[in-house]
């Protein structure tokens, strides 16, 4: 199993440090852009999207994550505001652990602290690769950069094991490409064996 960009701490450990289950409904906002980071969040069930909006109100989706994945944790270590929103895509069950208790957990469990460092480092690595890819004029390079970044948040390194939870329009928004270019390029990548398209679902 490869190192992934999201922490997955054993729930019993989170509970022992004061973690609590919180239930959210579809479309509920967990936190908003501009809020202070005060909790560690880990998904038990459901899916959430991390997004933001530009001046014209156009949505930019940064990622979609689900069961046994964490989010917002990088902001725990800096006294900054969230730069994106976390919104439920379905009814969602999340373990919330207050920031101070999470820091205590890491201090008392150095192996978890090391894993956190590895996850954050890999997240920065894939983010840098994605940003580098976005500067390319080759649409395949742009799409591969985005797909590799998104896949880094999920377990499993096998080809075509990652189902992309984004529409063609959302992929276009993320890569700065036209929707028509995204559709044409995805078909070309499928012919090259880089991905599969099954019932319009992209498998990378």
Distance of CA 9 to the CA centre of its chain: 16
DSSP assignment of 42-81 equals: EEEES-EEEEEE-TT--EEEEEEE-TT-EESGGGGGSS-B
Q: Vertex 102, ends 93 and 157: CA angle to 5°?
A: 65
3-class DSSP assignment, residue 110: helix
Note the pLDDT tens digit of each residue in 159-197. Answer: 888 999 889 998 998 888 999 999 999 999 999 999 999
pTM here is: 0.82
Task: Evaluate the CA torsion angle 20, 32, 163, 159 in order and state its sign.
Answer: negative
Cβ-based burial of 30 (10 A; exposed 0-12, middle 13-18, buried ≥19) = buried
pLDDT of residue 18: 97
HEC states along 124-186? HHHHHHHHHHHCCCCHHHHHHHHHHHHHCCCCCCCCCCCECCCCHHHHHHHHCCCHHHHHHHH
pLDDT band with cut points at 50, 70 and 90 for residue 3 = low
pLDDT band with cut points at 50, 70 and 90 for residue 153 = confident
List Cβ neighbours of 155 (8 Å cut-off, separation of 6 or more). 1, 2, 4
The Cα–Cα gap between 72 and 50 comes to: 9
Between residues 138 and 155, which one has the greater pLDDT?
138
């Amino acid at each position: 199993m490869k190192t992934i960009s999201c922490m997955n701490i054993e729930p019993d450990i989170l509970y022992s440090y004061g973690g609590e289950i919180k239930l959210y409904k579809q479309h509920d906002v967990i936190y908003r852009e501009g809020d202070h980071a005060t909790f560690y969040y880990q998904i038990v069930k459901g899916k959430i999207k991390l997004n933001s909006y530009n001046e014209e109100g156009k949505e930019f989706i940064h990622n979609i994550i689900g069961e046994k994945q964490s989010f917002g944790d990088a902001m725990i270590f800096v006294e900054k505001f969230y730069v994106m929103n976390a919104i439920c895509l379905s009814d969602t069950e999340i373990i919330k652990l207050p920031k101070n208790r999470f820091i205590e957990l890491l201090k008392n469990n150095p192996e978890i602290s090391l894993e956190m460092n590895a996850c954050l480092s890999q997240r920065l690595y894939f983010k840098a690769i994605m940003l580098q890819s976005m500067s390319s004029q080759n649409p395949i390079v742009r799409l591969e950069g985005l797909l590799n970044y998104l896949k880094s948040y999920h377990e499993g390194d096998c080809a075509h094991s990652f189902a992309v939870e984004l529409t063609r329009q959302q992929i276009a928004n993320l890569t700065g490409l036209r929707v028509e270019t995204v559709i044409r390029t995805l078909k070309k990548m499928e012919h090259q064996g880089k991905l599969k398209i099954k019932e319009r679902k992209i498998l990378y």
